[in-house]
Amino acid sequence: MRKKRNMYMPKGVLFDFDGVVVDSFESHYSAWSSAFNELFNKEIAPYPKSHVGKSPRKIAAYFCEQIGKGEQSEELFYLKDKHLELYFKVPNLLSGVIEFTDYLSTNQIPYGIASNATKLFLKQSIQHLKLNFPVVFGVEDYKKPKPAPEAYITLARTLGFVKEDFKDLWVFEDSLTGITAAKSAGMQPIGIISKYSAVEMKAAGSSKVFKNLKEAFDTLF
């Protein structure tokens, strides 16, 4: 007997990238570390859980403020982006991504990525991993990155949706920043556990929480 689905079928599915599609911590943190060392000749602080999912500019500001160099945050931001390209490390693909995108493509359910990562990193990663994401937005594409709703609204409209459709769009996120963005956009946030617990994700507004996209796919479809 077929199991009942926990949620009705979505009109579209929107994905964050880091922590949902890939594990990219090492890719990003190594670039932050090498850029920080080049700029200040110092070791960088540990990556703060509070900044998971935030824009690179806010992360750069955090690292600079730790050594009293807040005025150089923009310089670190651009240097990190340069290091990310020069010393590119392919992130690790997370479980369930291929099954999910194949299913959405076959069933003609529009989908795409809206991330606070840079467009270059997203495109390089997608190319190296041979992923099928037809529409991809990065932090340069928004005036106000997540937790503002602009990222997901921009993606949804590009996929052909209007405001009345937003309540029927699923958004897969692993950060409280992203959950807030999706909720503010009037969409259905679904949590993927990476840095935050299921309790934290639900408290932030996730309608469901899964350990990865594979578990989400098996449960929802």
**Tens digit of each residue's pLDDT (9 = 90 or more) over 106-156:** 999 999 999 999 998 999 999 999 999 999 999 999 999 999 999 999 999
Beta-ladder partners of 169:
12
pLDDT at residue 202, as a whole number: 95
Helix (H, G, I), strand (E, B) or coil at 23: strand
Helix (H, G, I), strand (E, B) or coil at 66: coil
Phi and psi at residue 95, to the nearest 5°:
-65, 135
pLDDT at residue 2, as a whole number: 40
pLDDT at residue 5, as a whole number: 42
pLDDT at residue 4, as a whole number: 45
Q: What pTM did the predictor assign? A: 0.86
pLDDT at residue 54, as a whole number: 85
Residue 119, CB half-sphere, CA atoms under 13 Å: how many?
Answer: 9
CA 132 from centre of chain? 16
Ranges of the chain with pLDDT below 50: 1-6
Token digits of residue 119: 């467009």
pLDDT at residue 41, as a whole number: 96
pLDDT at residue 55, as a whole number: 87
